[in-house]
Amino acid sequence: MYIKDRKIRFIFKDFFSSLKYTQYFCEHFDLCGGCIFQNMEYESQLELKKLMLKRCLKKYELDISLNNFFPADETKFYRNRMDYAVSEQDGQNIVIGLREYGKWWRTVDIRVCWIFSDKVPVILDYVREFLKNTGLRGYDPVSGKGDVRYIVLREGKNSGKFLVAIVASHEKFPFADFCDNFPIRNSSFAFAVSSSRANLSTGEVLEFRGETFSEKICGFEFLIPTFSFFQTNTHMAEKLVLKISEYINSLDKLEVMADLYSGVGLFSIIFAKKFDRVYGIEVDFDAVYFAEQNSILNAVKNTIFVSGRVEDNIRKISTDIILVDPPRSGLGRSVCKGILDMKRLKKLIYVSCNAESFSRDMKLLREKFDVEGLYAFDFFPHTKHFEILCFMSRK
């Protein structure tokens, strides 16, 4: 048995003897770049992730103890979104799946996907047959030629809703026929076009059919644009929300909260009743519009959402507490400085999906903030990824 990730294999080579391995359960494991920890027993996966976090903290000379690492509620079929590449390779016009490990230009033709949904076999077989019958080809990321680039699927684990989005290179796609014969009932559909050479699973939505996709978190319902970010593990997101709520409830009354990288308003809306006002800042214009709609949907009246980059707007607000949930690149020096310069700010909550950028930012933030608690949540079983939650208070 071995660890597929070469970097992890090298860095933690002295730890391997204590890992417990098991037989992987997915037929695509040898090639697929999705679940690279699948051949480890789950407890060993958690131990290795703890070591990964500790190593990043140590790299930036941070002496912070981990309070708890919360295991996943489910280790299979836990994701509410997957983006599958549609490719042309090795003489096959249609290959659908995830990228081969270590090879961005090759796609593993998958039949099952244990981290997303038991509906995948039926859906991908339908897409393969449909594209074959219409003469459409998959996309070659090397040559930049081909018709269909990605199929993006969303499944509401609590809402029961399903969304299918096709990303193509041009407008010539029989969208109506695709929708009419789709095997999963009560699905919604989007058709998007991207002419970019960048290997991204997004595009300009030209057609939409069905209800707007939504998911429910802790009793709140969130409408979600086709390609906008939303926490990928619904049930673990609820655990995260409950932990944050527990912390906020323990604080003395604070009037204003700012939610940076607010997306469709998940944290802003859920915690709005705890504050007089909540500001959300988000660069994705579609997400901002939906955040406003989600406030109406959930009868929340004290949220204000701003469309724009966080670094351009952070100095325009005055707040008692900030919650940040940045992309994998983290906050960066500019946003960290903006937070440090806020005189009124008393509390900071940092949610991160990247231990490296989190630790880098913490090195800067520790100048004026003390850590009150550090937690990790296994949002992504069988992968090297996990979520981090940190509570901080101004010194």
Please write the tens of the pLDDT for every residue from 196-240: 999 899 999 999 999 999 999 999 999 999 999 999 999 999 999
For position 382, what pLDDT does the model report?
97
Residue 11 banded pLDDT, cuts 50, 70, 90: confident
Structural domain boundaries in the chain: 1-76+233-254+320-395, 81-218
Q: Per CATH, which fold does 81-218 belong to?
A: OB fold (Dihydrolipoamide Acetyltransferase, E2P) (2.40.50)
Kindly state the percentage of the chain with pLDDT values over 90: 92
Residue 1 banded pLDDT, cuts 50, 70, 90: low
pLDDT (tens digit per residue) in 64-107:
999 999 999 999 999 999 999 999 998 888 999 999 998 999 99
pLDDT (tens digit per residue) in 101-130:
989 999 999 999 999 999 999 999 999 999
Q: At what angle do helices 355-365 and 42-59 cross, to 10 degrees?
A: 40
Is pTM beyond 0.85 here?
yes
Q: Which CATH superfamily is domain 1-76+233-254+320-395 in?
A: Vaccinia Virus protein VP39 (3.40.50.150)
Residue 247: pLDDT over 80: yes
What average pLDDT does this structure show over 187-192? 98
Residue 273: pLDDT over 70: yes
pLDDT (tens digit per residue) in 294-326:
999 999 999 999 999 999 999 999 999 999 999
At 241, which amino acid appears?
A: V
Residue 4 banded pLDDT, cuts 50, 70, 90: confident
- Segment 166-171 long-range contacts (CB within 8 Å, at least 24 positions apart): 166/190, 166/191, 166/192, 167/192, 167/193, 167/194, 167/201, 167/202, 167/203, 168/192, 168/193, 168/194, 168/203, 169/139, 169/193, 169/194, 169/195, 170/195, 171/206
Kindly state the percentage of the chain with pLDDT values over 70: 99
Residue 192 banded pLDDT, cuts 50, 70, 90: very high
For position 7, what pLDDT does the model report?
75
pLDDT (tens digit per residue) in 364-394:
999 999 999 999 999 999 999 999 999 999 9
What average pLDDT does this structure show over 8-22? 79
> Which residue is listed with tokens 């098991």?
22
Residue 2 banded pLDDT, cuts 50, 70, 90: low
For position 188, what pLDDT does the model report?
98
Residue 131: pLDDT over 80: yes
- In angstroms, the CA 287 to CA 297 distance is 15
- Complete edge-to-edge strand list for the sheet that includes strand 277-282: 68-70, 369-377, 387-394, 347-352, 321-324, 256-260, 277-282, 303-307
- In angstroms, the CA 19 to CA 288 distance is 44
What average pLDDT does this structure show over 153-177? 97
Q: Output the CA angle 285-288-294, nearest 5 degrees.
A: 145
- In angstroms, the CA 92 to CA 178 distance is 21
